[in-house]
Amino acid sequence: MEGFSEKTREYFPSLNRVNSSNQQIIYLDGPGGTQVPIQVIEAISKYYLRSNANTHGEFITSKETDSIMDDLRFKVSLMLGAENPNSISIGQNMTTLNYSLARALSRKFKEGDEVIVTELDHEANRGPWMILKEVGVKIIEVNLKQNGTLDYSDFKSKINDKTVMVCMGMSSNALGTLNSFNRVKEYLKDRKCLFLLDAVHYAPHFSIDVKVLDCDFMLCSAYKFYGPHISFLYSKPGVLNDLNPDRLVVQDQEAPYIIETGTLNHAACSGVSAAIDFISSLGQGRTYREKLESAYLQISDHEFNLAKHLYESLEGFDKTTVIGPDFSTRERTPTVSFVHSNYSPQEVCASLAKHNICAWDGHFYALKAIQQLGLESRGGVTRLGISLYNTKKEIDRAIEVIKSI
């Protein structure tokens, strides 16, 4: 468990920070955004030092920026297993991209159509779809069970001939639940229905192949997998060109550019490319894709073992109740959320912060899920997320502090 994290930690300068008591900082806030390796920092700095320009010019810095953007789309397409780089659109964040996509689909769907969302999802994969009500589309919600998993009998029963789209998260950023998206894809077999997957919380932990998943759209965010604040929309070839997104007349009128608005953050894009390179450097294989797949196997194993240790420890305490599925199978992301019998999530996080341990409290924009579990009035949950740079020593220290609260 320790060997993998020790191998990676040297690349993250932010891990060396200490507080006034000389306690080294522990980042368990990864689900809200990970730390970045030095390669990412250097790539962003190098861009501003040498290549800062807009795209499509005849001079050297503009051509270098063009290459950076093309290189990024290529690497993201390999990371997601996409058909080609023209399947990858770039945006400011997942929420903005999803709103743009929802607005475009509002011009395609008609009154009486039905779109399915879930009670477990982040609001970024719920709120945008609510605008479809403006054109008479009915929004159908899949029930969340009290154990933190979706009700798949309910899910299946709500798919019918009026269903034009299903939008679901691959995993829950609030509870760590790994959703059965392959089962849902089977429900949609032989139906003319779009399938969108939110991979924001999934992409940091597991390898993805959109061709195998056979989804029409997928969204993810680089700041969750060791990069800066940039997000991506994968669109199955031909699907995005069939839509009419909001855009300027001067914008390229075809995928992947058709849904991109304004000048993109080229420096951050250079940083994301370096982040994907960093992940691939942790793996083995002949090709870039093989190295990414190998790296993700190591990341998943490392993170699961630490998260299982954390979960089992918290389950053994009288004052803490873990919210969400257990770790009896690998169908779990390394995010552990809990409530304390005597203190609010905010108070627990404040106690952890005194020991230089970074953790989140609240609903994490998965408001509907927290409401359905009856936890909103308690301030939501305390959330601890494991990333590839975390160690057992760090988890043991966090467990010790929580036990003392």
DSSP 3-state of 140: strand
DSSP 3-state of 221: strand
DSSP string of 219-253, one letter each residue: EEEGGGTTS-S-EEEEE-TTTGGGS-----TTS--
Domain with CATH 3.90.1150.10 in the chain: 2-36+294-404
DSSP 3-state of 284: coil
Which pLDDT value is given to residue 38? 98
**By the 8 A CB rule, do 102 and 131 touch?**
yes
Q: Is the pLDDT of residue 307 over 80?
A: yes
Distance spanning both ends of the chain, measured CA to CA:
27
pLDDT tens sequence across 313-357: 999 999 999 999 999 999 999 999 999 999 999 999 999 999 999
Which pLDDT value is given to residue 405? 95
Pick the CATH number of 2-36+294-404 from 3.90.1150.10, 3.90.1300.10, 3.50.50.60, 1.20.1090.10: 3.90.1150.10
pLDDT tens sequence across 269-284: 999 999 999 999 999 9
pLDDT tens sequence across 117-159: 999 999 999 999 999 999 999 999 999 999 999 999 999 999 9
Amino acid (1-letter code) at residue 263: T
As given in the structure block, the two tokens for residue 84 are 């080609």
Which pLDDT value is given to residue 3? 76
pLDDT tens sequence across 9-23: 999 999 999 999 999
Q: Is the pLDDT of residue 1 over 60?
A: no
Q: What value does the mean pLDDT of the chain take?
A: 97
Q: How confident is the model at residue 252 (pLDDT cuts 50, 70, 90)?
A: confident
Task: Find the helix or strand (DSSP H, E) in which 214 lies.
Answer: none
**By the 8 A CB rule, do 171 and 179 touch?**
yes
Place of tokens 């639940």: 177
| CATH fold of the domain at 42-280 | Aspartate Aminotransferase; domain 2 (3.40.640)
pLDDT tens sequence across 47-99: 999 999 999 999 999 999 999 999 999 999 999 999 999 999 999 999 999 99
Q: How confident is the model at residue 5 (pLDDT cuts 50, 70, 90)?
A: confident
Domain with CATH 3.40.640.10 in the chain: 42-280
Beta bridge partners of 139: 115
Torsion of Cα atoms, 63 then 66 then 67 then 71, to 10°: 180
CA 246 to chain centre: 25
Place of tokens 């909001």: 246
| Cα separation, 326 vs 315, whole angstroms | 9
Task: Find the helix or strand (DSSP H, E) in which 340 lies.
Answer: strand 335-340
| Cα separation, 117 vs 126, whole angstroms | 6
Q: How confident is the model at residue 289 (pLDDT cuts 50, 70, 90)?
A: very high
**By the 8 A CB rule, do 299 and 347 touch?**
no
Query: Which percentage of the chain shows pLDDT scores above 70?
Result: 100
Amino acid (1-letter code) at residue 179: N
| Cα separation, 9 vs 93, whole angstroms | 27
